[in-house]
Amino acid sequence: MNNDNFEKNTLTDLAQASLVEQRRARRWKIFFPFVYLAIAVGVFITLTVDDAVPNHGPHTAIEIGR
């Protein structure tokens, strides 16, 4: 009787562990595409922002020395 209960508990624990692992894998599968998308959008914005600033002609930097 005790052996049957042990087998049942072992199978239940194994099934629950499998479900937990599937849930974790699904979360990571959803997480990484959003990370890659955020990186791609950040790179795109970084590369296009410099072109969006209007150029008002030549200018000179002023150095203030002490």
The span from the first CA to the last CA of the chain, in angstroms, equals 91
Q: Is position 23 within any domain? A: yes
| Structural domain that includes position 24 | 1-49
> Looking at the predicted structure, is the pLDDT value of residue 16 above 60?
yes
pTM of the model as a whole: 0.52
Report the share of the chain in percent with pLDDT over 70.
86
DSSP string for the chain: -HHHHHHHHHHHHHHHHHHHHHHHHHHHHHHHHHHHHHHHHHHHHHHHHHHHSPP-S---------
Instruction: Give domain status of residue 57, yes or no.
Output: no
Residue at 15 is within a domain: yes
Q: What is the pLDDT of residues 38-63, one digit of tens each?
A: 999 999 988 887 655 566 777 777 78
Residue 21 maps to a domain:
yes
